[in-house]
Structures are given as C-alpha cells and as structure tokens.
Amino acid sequence: MSGRPVKPLKIRSARRVSRKADACCAPAADAPPCCGPSVQAKSPPLDERVPGFLRWRETAAGRVAEIATSLTFADRAGAWKARWGIGRMTYIVPAGLYVVGEPDRDAPVVVTANYKMSYDLVRQALAGRDVWLLVLETYGVNVWCAAGKGTFGTGELVRRIEKTRLAELVAHRRLVLPLLGAAGVRAVEVRERTGFDVRFATVRCADLPQYLDNDMTATAEMRRLTFTTRERLVLIPVELVSAAKVMVPVALLLGLIGGLSGGWHLATVLLPAVACTGAVIAGTSAVPLLLPWLPTRSFAVKGAFCGLLWAALLRLAVGGTWSLPGTLLSFLALPAIAAYHGLNFTGSTPYTSRSGVKKEMRYALPVAAGALAVGIAGWLAGTVFAG
C-alpha cells in the first residue's frame, strides 16, 4: 500500500456527503463555519503585503494584484513552521482575485483556498502561464478539509465570483477547481446562480500545467489519490506539537505522583512519564509510519496495537517483576492513549469516509476512555493509596 496509488476520487458520492455539510457549515455571509474546530482566522485585506505581490493591475472590474510564481525563503520557512504547528491557525492569505502572468479574457480561471500553503503550491505550479487565480475564504483551512466543512463550498464560490466581478473579466464561463474540493461544491447550483461551469481538475497542484495543456482533460493518474510514506510522515510534526501541549504537563504530573508515593527514585519518577510519552509518540508517529502494515482497517485498533507493542517493549526493557498497578498502566492505559492519537489520522487519509469516521469515533472513544480510566485508576491505587 505504501507508495502505491490508492484509488480514483469518487466525486458523485462526495457530493452527496456535502449536502448536509453545506446546510450546517456553509456561512450565509463571510463568517466562520458553525461546525468543526473553532476557527478564528479570517483573511486580511488584500493589499501590497500579500505574499508574492508584484504590482497592481487595472482591469474592467477594478484593481487586481499581480503575484509572483516563485517562492521565497520566507515562503518555504513559513510552510515548515506550519508543518510544526507554529502559526498554523493564522497561515492565511487574503481571499480575492489575483493575476498570474498576462491573462486576457480567454485565460483560464483557477480556484483555490486561502490557506497559504495551498495558495503557494498553486501559484508555483502556474509559473510561465497567464491565469486568473480566484482565492476563496476558507479561514486558513486547506481545500480538502474546507470542502468537508463547507467553507470551500457552493455559497462561498458564488459570493466570490460576484464580489470580484469575474464575469466582466473573462469571455468564457469555466472555472477550474481542485478535485479535492468536489465534496463542497455543487456544480449545477453554481451554473444556475452564476452561469459559470465548474470543472474539477486534478488531485495534485503539480499536474495543473499538464491538465491545462490537455484541453482541461484529466488523465486517470491525475485523479488518483496516493498516501505514500513521505505523505504520511509530513503529518507527524503537527500532531506531535499538538499532543505535546497535553503530554508534557501530564508526564510531569505522573512523575510527581510517582516520586511522592514511591520515593524519588529513577523508576518511580521517570517510568510513568516515559510510559505515557512513549504511548503518545506511538499514536502520533508509529501509526502513520506503519499504517499499511498495521492490522485491521480501524485507526483506533491500529493505534492500540502500537500502544500494546510499546508496552511490551517497555516491559522487556525495564525487566523485573511488574506490579499489578504497573501492568494496568502499561496494557490498558498506554494502548488507549495511542489509540486516541491514532484516531486523529482518520481525517487525513484517503482511506476513510465521513460516515466511517463518525462510526469509529462513536465506538472507539468510549472504549479508549474506559481503558484509560481503569489503567490510571489502578496505577494510582497501587502507588498512592498502597504507599
């Protein structure tokens, strides 16, 4: 599975999923979505500070910013920081219409999200071309996730077409959208409300030039999702940083409890903290790295398996006779922690569906919470109260 194409994207089923998402999430005006994580970032005004800004171009619909297609060191450094969760929720560019090259009334219109990494990848792929680039307000969320939330959706696309007066700038009525945005956009409704036809192009930005040169016709390879080892590994840093916000204080607390109850020895202070930290790393790192080879299709079970493996390795490394509290912590709490973090990857893969994710969370989260509670309670009873 690693490194191989996964499957062509099924647009029809994705559209059926999007109807409920649009009803709940798509804002009636420029406002954050009502579902999903709290979103506070909104694009700033479009001015000379926009990344890649070159100059203003006067058009029939007013001034439009011309942007560069080459990325600077600051652009690449910003992407690296976003991968590590640094400034991720404000990694955003202004929504609106941009100019790449010297587009005329027949030039294609390419649409993307205002997550800066998406914006950078698209403008870089359009080097040497004459294109209108329409950037939607997705509140700094990438195309795939924004389509699921409804912000990369029918309503926002229609509003942005009208707000930028796009119809006055192009003679044709064609919009080129990323294929991963298909879940959020209803092409028929866009045509009815604006007169523009929606064409879902490719999965990867790098295929855009070939798609445009091929008379806007995508090959099967352009529409095929992959989830290679490299593509899985780039997901790890942000998960580790996010988990560390909880992992560090919990590890310190466990070490403090162990020291106060069992004496300030290496085993009593460090072992619980190391055990907990290792379980988090197993869920955030081992699961995506070993994903194709882990048993079952359930991400929670994959995480629990990594947690069990970590518990066994820890027990072998420590040696000696383990107490009942230590065993409970290792073989109940540690797999539960790893399972929870492994479950986080369900929204980042091409293997899952929206209904499948909800079903797995409904069953896996209570089981993981119960195992964690029993494991920690058993450990506390054996260390604090017995001591």
pLDDT at 385: 55
Any residues with CB less than 8 A from the CB of 295 and at least 6 apart, and which? Answer: 301, 302, 305
Question: Is residue 131 predicted with pLDDT exceeding 60?
Answer: yes
pLDDT of residue 278 exceeding 50, the answer is: yes
Choose among 55, 205, 226: nearest CA to 120: 205
Q: Are strands 131-136 and 109-113 parallel, antiparallel or unpaired?
A: parallel
323 exposure class (CB count in 10 Å sphere: 0-12, 13-18, 19+):
middle
Give the domain range for residue 90.
5-226
5 strand-pairing partners:
226
Contact yes or no for 148/353 (Cβ under 8 A): no
Mean pLDDT over each residue of the chain, to the nearest integer = 83
pLDDT at 262 over 70: no
> Would you state the pLDDT for residue 195?
97
Read off the pLDDT of each residue in 289-294 and give the average, rounded to a whole number.
Answer: 92
> pTM (2 decimals)?
0.79
What's the pLDDT score for residue 125?
97
Q: How many domains are there within the chain?
A: 2
CB 133 within 8 A of CB 167: no
User: For position 45, which CATH number holds?
Assistant: 3.40.50.11600
Cβ burial 263-300 (10 Å sphere, 16+ → b, else e): eeeeebbbbbbbbbbbbbbbbbbbbbbbbeebeeebbb
What pLDDT does residue 69 have? 97
Cross-strand pairs, 99: 66, 132
Last residue of a domain, one of 164, 197, 226: 226
Give bridge partners of residue 65 from the DSSP assignment: 56, 98
pLDDT over 50 (residue 23): no
Q: Radius of gyration of the chain from Cα atoms? A: 24
Residues 18 and 163 in one domain: yes
Strand positions, DSSP E, 178-293: 197-200, 224-226
What distance in Å separates the CA atoms of residue 93 and residue 84, rounded to the nearest whole number?
19
Residue with tokens 């071309």: 129
Q: Are residues 152 and 247 in the same domain?
A: no
From residue 47, how far is each of 93, 95, 128, 130, 207 by CA, in Å? 10, 11, 23, 21, 29
Q: Same domain for 94 and 168? A: yes
Q: Which helix (H) or strand (E) holds 223?
A: none
Structure token digits, residue 307 = 């947690």
What pLDDT sits at residue 4?
Answer: 40
Domain final position from 203, 226, 249? 226
**Within this chain, do residues 341 and 236 fall inside the same structural domain, yes or no?**
yes
Instruction: List Cβ neighbours of 259 (8 Å cut-off, separation of 6 or more).
Output: 265, 268, 269
What does the alpha-carbon distance between residue 294 and residue 296 come to, in Å, rounded to a whole number? 7
263 and 343: one domain? Answer: yes
Q: Are residues 129 and 235 in the same domain?
A: no
Q: Are residues 254 and 300 in the same domain?
A: yes
Task: Return all residues near 342 (Cβ < 8 A) that are at least 6 apart.
Answer: 283, 287, 299, 300, 302, 303, 304, 306
What one-character DSSP code corresponds to residue 204?
A: S
Check whether residue 128 and residue 207 sit in a common domain: yes
As to burial, measured by CB atoms within 10 angstroms (0-12 exposed, 13-18 middle, 19+ buried), residue 157 is: buried
Confidence (pLDDT) at 8 = 44
DSSP labels for 170-182?
Answer: -SS-EEEE-GGGT
Out of 46-60, 107-121, 165-179, 347-361, which region has the weakest mean confidence (pLDDT)? 347-361
Residue 214 sits in the same domain as residue 235 = no
**Does residue 310 share a domain with residue 279?**
yes
Are 307 and 348 in a shared domain? yes
Quick one: pLDDT at residue 150?
A: 86
242 and 173 share one domain: no
Which one has a higher pLDDT value, 142 or 328? 142
Tokens of 370: 């119960």
What is the predicted pLDDT for the residue at 353? 62
8 Å CB contact between 276 and 307: no
Segment of 86-90, 201-205, 312-316 carrying the highest mean pLDDT: 201-205
Dist. CA 104–CA 222, nearest whole Å: 27
Q: In the structure, what pLDDT confidence band is assigned to residue 383 with cuts at 50, 70 and 90?
A: low
Q: Which one of 226, 253, 287 terminates a domain?
A: 226
pLDDT for residue 315 is more than 90: no
